[in-house]
Amino acid sequence: MNGLAAWDDQHCGRCGGVVAMICALSMRNGCAALVAILAMVMGVPTTGARAEDHSPVIDVPSADPEMAAAIARARATLPTFWASYEAPKPTETGHSLKVRFATSRTNGEHIWMLDVKRLPSGLYSGRFGNAPRDLRGKREGDLAEFREADITDWMFVRNGKIVGCETMRPLFKSMSKADAAAFRARMETP
């Protein structure tokens, strides 16, 4: 996105960044088994992997109906994310939100945010899970605030399976059949 199905409004999904983002999530949230599985499936090494590594760009037009539908599904199911976020079961980790940030070059960059917190102001904060491409002066790990209206996807890991991550699904067609099938197998709801 450079991470988990990141894309901007000219939309750039970074398939190889899927593993890099999960690597970043795992280093911060202890999902090492998931990293190893996804790295094996996607063919990306986990040792020393960083979000900017191995991140080919997949262009998705801003009017792509599949991506628009994926965002709508993700937004409609945000209560599932918030329920787990507020009272996670021991098997639920790696809570992350994908957020659209306005940019001057494009209609926006969608990027995964880690360490998400609700603020008393009604806003949210989180840390960039990977290096923003079009947000000048922002780096992986930087803290940023955002509104709920800017959330375009969510994910967490439950019992070793990815829950949510709707914006990844339209990108399966850009992967090899074997990689897409393997990634689907790692999702709680393929």
Q: Please compute the mean of the pLDDT values over residues 77-97 and round it to a whole number.
A: 96
Q: In the numeric block, which tokens belong to residue 180?
A: 């897409």
Let me know if 82 is exposed, middle or buried by CB neighbors in 10 A (0-12, 13-18, 19+).
middle
Distance of alpha carbon 75 from alpha carbon 81, whole angstroms: 10
Instruction: Convert the pLDDT of each residue in 111-169 to its tens digit.
Output: 899 999 999 999 999 999 988 888 889 999 999 999 999 999 999 999 999 999 999 89
Average pLDDT, the chain: 75
Give yes or no for residue 1 having a pLDDT over 50: no
Whole-number pLDDT of residue 166: 94
pLDDT band, residue 19 (cuts 50/70/90): very low
Give the C-alpha distances (Å, rounded to integers) separating 90 from 60, 61, 126, 143.
36, 39, 22, 26
Identify the H or E element spanning 152. strand 151-158
Give yes or no for residue 48 having a pLDDT over 50: no
Whether 140 and 51 have beta carbons less than 8 Å apart is answered as: yes
Whole-number pLDDT of residue 105: 74
Q: Please compute the mean of the pLDDT values over residues 2-31 and round it to a whole number.
A: 37
SS3 68: helix
pLDDT band, residue 59 (cuts 50/70/90): low
